Amino acid sequence: MRIIFMGTPEFAVESLKSLVESGENVVAVITAPDKPAGRGQKIQQSAVKQYALSEHIPVLQPEKLKDPVFLEELQSYKADLQVVVAFRMLPEVVWNMPPLGTINVHASLLPQYRGAAPINHAIINGETETGVTTFLLQHEIDTGNILLTEKVDIGSTDTAGILHDKLRAAGARTLLKTIEGLKKNTLIPISQADISTAQLKHAPKIFKEDCEIDWNNSTATIYDKIRGLSPYPTAFTLLEGKVLKIFETEKEIINHDLKPGTYQTDEKTYLKFTAKDGYIHLRRVQIEGKKKMDIDEFLRGYRFE
């Protein structure tokens, strides 16, 4: 089976690697164009491109997916199947090109958490279980017929970073099972419309303004939001007018009569903020202009007004 793989970030590398190491015939890789990143704005290759080059797999990096030159080159590889993991939305002329179509690996149990940030939103919403889904691409994003799923538990202290790694491994496993099923013609696609669910939860892209903490919320809600945004894009609050990013916390649910958002500290070992029904104890933070630090190191260097 001739396979073209499409993906960009580290999450997708595990799936590509699993295809290569299992002996599948990956004839080309499509990934995002190189772009400047970091403080020095040096040109960076995507994680997928770096791996593909290390395995001597041809790499295509189209600016526009409807570019006739790109489409002609894509067609020349005569792929039987395309695999998409963490890539951009495809036009029909691309996803409908191979005889077996295009399958996507999505980091949720569809139809729940369709969208760009399923890992973050599952934790933010306090879920205890999520998973991965392979499905056939069609017009509406993340709505195609489901091929296989694998459930993954979310631990009570899991951050988005921890869950990312769990789902990355699960996605690779499920992709290999899916391709094996396609080869043997043993998969029965299931319409997402046939899956009953009381309420659909969505996973839209997260913007900076979504990351600010509202201390009027419950302690549990704030704790889950911080976990769900750690390590990226990171929840933040203001400390004496400065942006304070928060990566790790502990929650304490207790009655108090303090105004939400006020802080308490001994300036040596602890810093905690008040929520509606308790405290959020900060464990790992980063104040603007400084590096990420554990709270005791941060307090040793910070001077409160």
- pLDDT 10s digits, 143-171: 999 999 999 999 999 999 999 999 999 99
Report the pLDDT value the prediction gives residue 12, as an integer from 0 to 100: 97
Q: Which residues contact 198 (CB under 8 A, 6 or more apart)?
A: none
Report the pLDDT value the prediction gives residue 279, as an integer from 0 to 100: 98
Per-residue model confidence as pLDDT tens digits over 88-130: 999 999 999 999 999 999 999 999 999 999 999 999 999 999 9
Report the pLDDT value the prediction gives residue 159, as an integer from 0 to 100: 98
In the chain, ranges of CATH 3.40.50.170 domains: 2-194
Exposed (0-12), middle (13-18) or buried (19+): which is 96, by Cβ within 10 Å? middle
Scan for tokens 């916390």, then name that residue. 249
Closest Cα to residue 153, out of 179, 177, 127, 176? Answer: 127
| Residue ranges in the chain modelled with pLDDT below 70 | none
In this structure, whether the domain defined by 2-194 belongs to CATH 3.40.50.170 is answered with yes
In the chain, ranges of CATH 3.10.25.10 domains: 209-301
Report the pLDDT value the prediction gives residue 197, as an integer from 0 to 100: 81
Exposed (0-12), middle (13-18) or buried (19+): which is 77, by Cβ within 10 Å? middle
Taking CA atoms, 179 is separated from 30, 101, 146, in Å, by 19, 12, 13
Report the pLDDT value the prediction gives residue 198, as an integer from 0 to 100: 80
Report the pLDDT value the prediction gives residue 42, as an integer from 0 to 100: 87
Q: How many CA atoms lie within 13 A of 226 on its CB side?
A: 29
> d(Cα 281, Cα 115) in Å, to the nearest integer?
31
Report the pLDDT value the prediction gives residue 196, as an integer from 0 to 100: 82
Which CATH architecture fits 209-301?
Roll (3.10)
Report the pLDDT value the prediction gives residue 176, as an integer from 0 to 100: 98
Report the pLDDT value the prediction gives residue 38, as an integer from 0 to 100: 75
Question: Is 130 within 8 Å of 152 (Cβ atoms)?
Answer: yes
Report the pLDDT value the prediction gives residue 140, as an integer from 0 to 100: 86
